[in-house]
Amino acid sequence: MSIQVTEPAPKPDFVATVLTVTLVLAVAVYTVTYDHIPAARTPLASLMAAQSLLLAFFAFLTNSRRAIPLMIALLVVLGITAALQWAEIPQDFTPLLRYLTAIAGMFAIHMTRLPNLMRYISYLGMAVIAYAGYVTETGGPFFYAGTVRTWPFWSGLANSSFFIAALLLVIAVNPMKKFFKVLWVGAGLYVLAGYGAVTAILMVAFFFAGWYFLYRQWNRIALFAMGGIAVVGGILFRNANSVAGADIGSLGVGAIGSGRVDSWAGRLVEFVDRDFATQMLGRGPYSDYQVTELWYWAEKNAHSDLVTILMEFGIIGFVAIVGLWISAYRRTSPLGQVALLSIALGAMASNTFIDRPGVAIGWGLVLYACDRHTVRPRPTRRERIKPPRRVKLAPAYAHLEKRLQGVR
pLDDT in tens, 40-87: 888 988 999 999 999 999 999 988 888 999 999 999 999 999 999 998
Report the number of distinct structural domains present in the chain: 1
pLDDT above 80 (res 252): no
- Provide the percentage of residues in the chain whose pLDDT is more than 70: 68
pLDDT band at 236; cut points 50, 70, 90: low
If you compute the radius of gyration of the chain from its CA atoms, what whole number of angstroms results? 25
pLDDT above 80 (res 99): yes
What letter represents residue 184's amino acid? W
CB 118 within 8 A of CB 173: yes
pLDDT above 80 (res 159): no
Q: Is residue 4 part of a domain?
A: no
Q: Is residue 264 part of a domain?
A: yes
| Mean pLDDT of the region 91-107 | 92
Q: Is residue 42 part of a domain?
A: yes
| Mean pLDDT of the region 349-363 | 86
Which pTM does this prediction carry? 0.80
Find all residues with CB under 8 Å of 115, minimum gap 6, and list them.
Answer: 12, 17
The pair phi, psi for residue 300, each rounded to 5°, is -130, 145
pLDDT of residue 121: 82
Domain span at residue 353 reads: 14-378
Find all residues with CB under 8 Å of 243, minimum gap 6, and list them.
Answer: 145, 146, 147, 258, 259, 294, 295
Q: Is residue 276 part of a domain?
A: yes
pLDDT band at 253; cut points 50, 70, 90: very low
Say how far residue 400 (Cα) sits from the centre of its chain: 64
pLDDT band at 250; cut points 50, 70, 90: low
Q: Is residue 134 part of a domain?
A: yes
pLDDT band at 322; cut points 50, 70, 90: very high
